[in-house]
């Protein structure tokens, strides 16, 4: 009799455990279904950053992985058009299997190399070209006076960049110089430029881990790390329910 009672108790206990597990599984399934619907809504509305934030939590669920690649590709293209070339490059590199990525990466290598300050001087006149994203500004100085001669958009050729103005153009040659007719523009050396202090900004999609640490959010309070066959995924936890998600060292989603 005692043996029967013991067996009944064990059966009831196991049945209770199974019931709790089933309930937890049902709750998780419902949450994933709701997140999936929200993610698809953002995806269809072309809100790529919001879609990616949810796709990260739903890795492996239905067709999430495929849509995640598409969202990264579209977000990278947006950064490219906005002139945020470093961020665009990191996202493109994370989806290198996608068609069209190599063309973008080749263009980005040229565009990124051209960013910064360039100078030509003949001893009397100094001409400076400042490249920031797709924009350029040309400054001419004579003695202590200077003025902005022209500003506009740079043009991307097959293997070079151009700045068109008047009857001549500035053509990208390599990482060290620009050439306009017979004038050679060289990149500024450290001795010629003052240190530019960039203001801190909040975390952004495409940042590296170090850039997030250098942002206005600083160091995370906690890091949750998951390693899968696709690489390493991290969740950086901040105060006030703020989170940064990194995929192989690059920010792919932000929650605040």
Contact 56, 247 (CB under 8 A): yes
CA–CA distance, 102 with 124 (Å, rounded to integer):
44
Residue 131 reports pLDDT greater than 50: yes
pLDDT of residue 60: 85
Burial class (CB in 10 A: 0-12, 13-18, 19+), 184: middle
Residue 200 domain flag: no
Burial class (CB in 10 A: 0-12, 13-18, 19+), 95: middle
Residue 4 domain flag: no
Q: Please report where in the chains the tokens 């995370």 appear, as a residue.
A: 220
Task: Tell me the average pLDDT across 196-225.
Answer: 82
Burial class (CB in 10 A: 0-12, 13-18, 19+), 250: buried
Answering whether pTM is above 0.75, one says no
Q: Give Cα 185 to chain centroid, integer Å.
A: 31
Residue 204 domain flag: no
| CA separation, residue 133 to residues 127, 130, 247 (Å) | 20, 10, 25
Residue 78 reports pLDDT greater than 80: yes
- The mean predicted confidence, pLDDT, of the chain is 77
pLDDT of residue 189: 53
Q: Verify that 177 and 144 share a domain, yes or no.
A: yes
Give the domain range for residue 218. 209-255
CATH number at residue 43: 1.25.40
Q: Verify that 119 and 97 share a domain, yes or no.
A: no
For residues 213 and 175, the model is more confident at: 213
pLDDT of residue 143: 59
Contact 250, 236 (CB under 8 A): no
Contact 165, 138 (CB under 8 A): yes
For residue 243, what are the β-bridge partners? 237, 255
DSSP one-letter code for 125: E
pLDDT of residue 94: 87
Residue 198 reports pLDDT greater than 70: no
Residue 15 domain flag: no
pLDDT tens figures, 142-153: 655 656 666 778
For residues 238 and 229, the model is more confident at: 238
Domain count, the chain: 3
pLDDT > 70 in the chain, percent: 71
Residue 157 domain flag: yes
DSSP one-letter code for 158: S
Contact 253, 205 (CB under 8 A): yes
């Amino acid at each position: 009799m005692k043996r029967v009672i013991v067996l009944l108790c064990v059966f009831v206990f196991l049945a209770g455990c199974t019931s709790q597990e089933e309930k937890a599984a049902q709750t998780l399934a419902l949450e994933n279904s709701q997140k999936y619907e929200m993610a698809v809504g953002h995806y269809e509305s072309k809100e790529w950053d919001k879609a990616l934030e949810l796709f990260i939590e739903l890795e492996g669920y239905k067709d999430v992985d495929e849509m995640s690649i598409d969202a990264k590709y579209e977000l990278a293209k947006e950064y490219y058009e906005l002139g945020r070339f470093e961020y665009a490059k990191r996202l493109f590199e994370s989806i290198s299997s996608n068609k069209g990525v190599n063309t973008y990466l080749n263009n980005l290598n040229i565009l990124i190399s051209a960013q910064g300050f360039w100078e030509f001087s003949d001893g009397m006149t100094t001409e400076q070209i400042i490249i920031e994203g797709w924009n350029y500004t040309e400054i001419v100085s004579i003695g202590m006076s200077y003025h902005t001669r022209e500003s506009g958009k740079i043009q991307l050729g097959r293997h070079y960049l151009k700045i068109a103005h008047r009857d001549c153009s500035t053509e990208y040659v390599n990482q060290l110089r620009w050439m306009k007719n017979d004038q050679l523009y060289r990149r500024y050396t450290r001795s010629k430029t003052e240190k530019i202090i960039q203001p801190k900004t909040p975390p952004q999609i495409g940042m590296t881990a170090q850039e997030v640490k250098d942002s206005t959010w600083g160091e995370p309070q906690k890091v949750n790390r998951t390693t899968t066959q696709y690489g390493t995924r991290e969740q950086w936890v901040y105060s006030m329910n703020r989170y940064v998600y990194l995929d192989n060292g690059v920010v792919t989603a932000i929650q605040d």
